[in-house]
Amino acid sequence: MILDTNALSAFADNDLDLLSILPSDRPWALPVIVIGEYRFGLLGSREKDAREEWLDRLISVVTVLEITERTASFYATIRHQLRVDQRKIPPNDSWIAALAMEHQWPIASRDGHFDVIHGIRRIAW
């Protein structure tokens, strides 16, 4: 399962509802985009140092999904589909969706706009 930024934030806050949907028998992953968005959010936080240490520990034990040329092909397909369907989602979420499509993993997210992308399964909590 891929964690979106709001899922990573919920995980950091020990959100029990999120924890109940995370698989214990399968790996889960963080896209580099999510890591960047989370770090951006920490820049103004009073808990910046502690949260960055927590994030660094987490990154050392989970799969980090990076953008590749193959990912870019999925991204292009998704953006084209959204244009044809006259739908818009944030560009970073298009990249997260491309990684989900590439790896065939669901996305843990509260963002309903993932639901308009063909071939993506979002798991909400």
Whole-number mean pLDDT of the chain? 97
- The pLDDT assigned to 45 comes to 94
For residue 98, the model assigns a pLDDT of 99
pLDDT at residue number 80:
98
pLDDT at residue 23, as a whole number: 87
| Cα–Cα distances in angstroms (integers) from residue 65 to residues 59, 75, 82, 87, in the given order | 11, 14, 23, 25
Alpha helix (H) residue ranges in 3-63: 5-12, 16-21, 32-42, 48-59
- CATH superfamily of the domain spanning 2-123: 5'-nuclease (3.40.50.1010)
For the whole prediction, is pTM greater than 0.85? yes
What is the per-residue pLDDT for 2? Answer: 98
pLDDT (0 to 100) of residue 38: 98
What is the structure's pLDDT at 25?
A: 87
Q: What are phi and psi of 86, to 5 degrees?
A: 55, 50
- Residue 27: the pLDDT is 86
- Listed by start position, the domains of the chain span 2-123
> Which two tokens mark 98?
């491309």
Q: Tell me which residues of the chain have a pLDDT lower than 50.
A: none
Place of tokens 């909400």: 124
pLDDT of residue 91: 95
